[in-house]
Amino acid sequence: MFHVSKNKQFVEKVTAMEDDFGQWYTDVVKQAELVDYGVVRGTMIIKPYGYALWENIRDELDRRIKETGHTNVYFPLFIPESLLQKEKDHIEGFAPEVAWVTHGGEEELSERICVRPTSEVLFCEYYAKNIHSYRDLPMLYNQWSNVVRWEKTTRPFLRSLEFLWQEGHTAHATEEDAAQETAKMLEIYADVLENYMAIPVLRGRKTDKEKFAGANYTLTVETLMHDGKALQAGTSHHFGDGFAKAFDITYLDENGDRQYVHQTSWGMTTRLIGALIMVHGDNRGLVIPPRMAPTQAMIVPIAQHKEGVLDQAYDLCDELKDIVRVDIDASDKMPGWKFNEYEMKGIPVRIEMGPRDIAKEQVVLVRRDTGEKEFVALAQLQNRLPQLLEDIQQNLFNRALAHRNEKTSVATTMDEFAKILDEKSGFIKAMWCGDNACEEKIKEETSATSRCIPFEQETVADTCVYCGKEAKELVYWGRAY
RNA sequence: CGGGAUGUGGCUCAGCUUGGUAGAGCACUAGCAUGGGGUGCUAGGGGUCGCAGGUUCAAGUCCUGUCAUCCCGACCA
């Protein structure tokens, strides 16, 4: 039915992921026109299609953040060095990757100014001034911004000198209130990932070694990429009153007693786009889950200069506009070129319409996730299309979940641990004694880090996988981005 | 910050060993045909070879320096 063009030297545009996953990623990012490299090393230009993906994630997340009572604000890009110094662990954690402003014009500044790597201290400084009474609490702020971290090695979306994110900063009367907030926001992150981006997550707590600099504890949603490496997709931190004490953030309670506030912060970044690519993508390029796809269906007219084809295709586009996010490519590129282009961009469904279809009052639907084609009568299309999109959404989630399960193993000895990493990669469930030294050693010897201590605990052995002493808890381990 | 590599039209690269007035493919522009998996033909536009200095009658090519980027390791969302 589909005749193959004569001079068929189909140019493989992206490196096969089996051959070189890193190169595959770079190829997709470039060829799906998500980013260009910036002029300064490690920076990126997010192009229209890449930014459209970010806008969708942002809007979805923003809606949930607002629904849970938070308000958006905007704090400055700059932090004076003295302010950053106030919380000891925090500055120690971030100092190595801070970009400093030392001059204003030609004049050297009396105090260096830091370009924010994160904004905890600014919020703290503000809270110290603006929180007085228990009636002021909770203070639930969020901001959408860029931050800068001077990383040594960079990759688009996964690790760049500058990236976009949302950072929530909240202050609460009690430790329990803060704990609830921390958990609530993690659940929102999980919801966006699973139900919007079709990326299954592992919910858990970070070990002390991996927690945020200055936090009591850090909750995380961990995801698994197609190559078996883990990616931290969102974190939610409970600060207790550590920052409050460093910044003197206090309020008067109902009894007139002076109390420290309890704080949280939580963030998600443009890194999510990296996750999207590496979870759903394939050797033809991106695969975007329908719910978040800027364009859900692309109409490709066939033999479009033939009588009536384009008119019919435009009519179809108009009809579908109220039902799905649909677009039409009526450029005079070859159909084959368009097929490849929109597969590269991960558009969930392609609608082909040519003279033969028009004669039969049908169209051809081709789904991006499986490549399956089906013929659908025009009269049925308005029912079938939303259904198909939903199928694709579900299939992507199920597929990713099956992959993660398949790539999750149990290790009870370090030999097993090493063997799994070597042969299979993915998540490794192993017991841990709770000693930081064992965690360090495991990283040193295998380059795997602890990903999280899952909320749903189980026991796969009685002893620590490294030292053999009594095990305290189960930890998910893995090599990570 | 250690190890390796590379800088030549928008992109990918050839040219350098053995100096002699810059080349290909893709992309772009125009036209005709084509159109169910990256279409074909024809005609065009576009580069002083990362930067600085040196050797030479002559430097993309040789020498010195410098800057940048990429890949691999230690730190990170």
Instruction: Summarize pLDDT for A460-474 with one digit per residue, the tens.
Output: 999 999 999 999 999
CA-to-CA separations, A310 to A286, A375, A382, in angstroms, rounded: 28, 19, 20
pLDDT for residue A7: 29
Find the Å distance, CA of residue A339 to C1' of nucleotide B41. 24
Q: What percent of chain A has pLDDT over 70?
A: 97
Mean pLDDT over residues A353-369, rounded?
96
Strand B at less than 7 A from CB of A384:
no
Q: For residue A424, give the amino acid letter.
A: K
pLDDT for residue A42: 86
Find the Å distance, CA of residue A36 to C1' of nucleotide B61. 32
pTM for the model stands at 0.94
Find the Å distance, CA of residue A41 to C1' of nucleotide B63. 30
| Torsion sign, CA atoms A12, A17, A19, A24 | positive
Q: Over the stretch A123-134, which tens digit does the pLDDT of each residue have?
A: 999 999 999 999
Q: Over the stretch A412-471, which tens digit does the pLDDT of each residue have?
A: 999 999 999 988 999 999 999 999 999 999 998 999 999 999 999 999 999 999 999 999
Find the Å distance, CA of residue A30 to C1' of nucleotide B19. 39
Nucleotide with C1' nearest the A356 CA: B36
Mean pLDDT over residues A79-107, rounded?
88
pLDDT for residue A302: 96
Mean pLDDT over residues A128-145, rounded?
98
pLDDT for residue A291: 98
Which two tokens mark A363?
A: 């169209």
Strand B at less than 7 A from CB of A160:
yes
CA distance A152 to A97: 9
Find the Å distance, CA of residue A188 to C1' of nucleotide B23. 57
In the Cβ-directed half-sphere of A11, how many Cα atoms lie within 13 Å? Answer: 5
* pLDDT above 80 (res A266): yes
Nucleotide with C1' nearest the A270 CA: B77
Nucleotides in chain B with any atom closer than 7 Å to protein CB:
1, 33-40, 68-77
Q: What is the mean pLDDT of chain A?
A: 93
Q: Over the stretch A280-309, which tens digit does the pLDDT of each residue have?
A: 999 999 999 999 999 999 999 999 989 899
CA-to-CA separations, A372 to A10, A13, A431, in angstroms, rounded: 20, 21, 43
Strand B at less than 7 A from CB of A266:
no
Find the Å distance, CA of residue A356 to C1' of nucleotide B9. 44
**Distance from the Cα of residue A114 to its chain's centroid:** 26
Q: Over the stretch A70-80, which tens digit does the pLDDT of each residue have?
A: 999 999 999 99
Parallel/antiparallel/unpaired status of strands A99-104 and A107-115: antiparallel
* pLDDT above 60 (res A270): yes
pLDDT for residue A20: 83
pLDDT for residue A153: 85
Q: Over the stretch A199-256, which tens digit does the pLDDT of each residue have?
A: 999 999 999 999 998 999 999 999 999 999 999 999 999 999 999 999 999 999 999 9
pLDDT for residue A89: 87
* pLDDT above 60 (res A2): no
Reported confidence tier of residue A197, pLDDT bands at 50, 70, 90 = very high
- Which residue is associated with the tokens 């090599």? A479
Query: A169: closest CA among A204, A133, A118?
Result: A118
pLDDT for residue A4: 27
Mean pLDDT over residues A150-165, rounded?
90
Nucleotide with C1' nearest the A20 CA: B71
pLDDT for residue A8: 29
Which two tokens mark A341?
A: 């282009």
pLDDT for residue A11: 43
Dihedral angle at the C-alpha atoms of A255, A257, A262, A263, nearest 10 degrees? 100
* pLDDT above 50 (res A39): yes
Find the Å distance, CA of residue A23 to C1' of nucleotide B55. 42
Nucleotide with C1' nearest the A285 CA: B38
